[in-house]
Amino acid sequence: MHASFWHQGWQEQRIGFHQNKINPYLSKYWPKLNITENSRVFVPLCGKSLDLCYFPQQGLKVLGNELSTLAVQDFYTEQQLIASKTVICDENSVTVQAQMSLWQSKDIDLLCGDFFALKKKQLTDIKAVYDRAALVALPSEMRRKYVRKMREILPDKISMLLLTLDYNENEQQGPPFSVTQEEVYELYEPCFNIELLELSETEPQQRSPRFQNMSYFNERVFYLSSR
């Protein structure tokens, strides 16, 4: 998926993936990670998700990453948060697309820019990761690149709550893309212990309109801990 796809999606408000409430799997399973108060959580490809607001309620700080400036602006405006913006200059970068900015508020900071341009030094204090919409937002060839980048920039000791979708891609095309349980193990097992916390087959009436007529639509919740 090229960056232009997501920029255009936000400009045209094609954001059917955005939920108008905190994800129930987050509130149900996050306590399992047992993250200490004031720790910092990384949320990749976060959009303007209300899930970002859950973590300060638990006494945690948030660092999100989002490509779209519109999404970042909308988040702070809709949540009525005051944020400062700092442009991050990289002397090795020669493209405008690689430019990144850091938006900072009391408990929620957002790095606006390409995920693949993130640096390890920006995530040194991260204790946990919440991935609801990042892995499933990417086609298969990019998912491998994404996981390699995560391993590169994350601290050695980390926990992760990962949410995935699984459906017949012959019936519908993503994003969000189908990610099987086997693929999760293939991608993450070299560096993480993996525990499947829940497998739920979503009933047609509970799905978004795009997926209502599909033969099956599964949601999985994984807990990952670094080895």
pLDDT in tens, the chain (227 residues): 566 654 465 455 555 554 678 999 999 999 999 999 999 999 999 999 999 999 999 999 999 999 999 999 999 999 999 999 999 866 555 554 457 999 999 999 999 999 999 999 999 999 999 999 999 999 999 999 999 999 999 999 999 999 999 999 999 888 899 999 999 999 999 999 999 999 998 887 677 777 888 899 999 999 999 99
DSSP secondary structure, 114-178, as one string: -GGG--GGGGTTEEEEEESSSGGGS-HHHHHHHHHHHHHHS-SS-EEEEEEEEE-TTT---SSPP
Helix-helix angle 3-11:69-78, to 10 degrees: 40
Angle subtended at Cα 133 by Cα 3 and Cα 44, rounded to the nearest 5 degrees? 70
Is 0.85 topped by the overall pTM? Answer: yes
What percent of the residues of the chain are helix, what percent strand, and what percent coil, each to the nearest 5? 35, 25, 40
The CATH code of the domain that includes 74 is 3.40.50.150
Q: Considering its fold, how many domains does the chain have in total?
A: 1
User: Domain span at residue 78?
Assistant: 3-13+20-226
**Distance (Å, rounded) from C-alpha 51 to C-alpha 91?**
34
The whole-angstrom distance between residue 39's C-alpha and the CA centroid of its chain comes to: 18
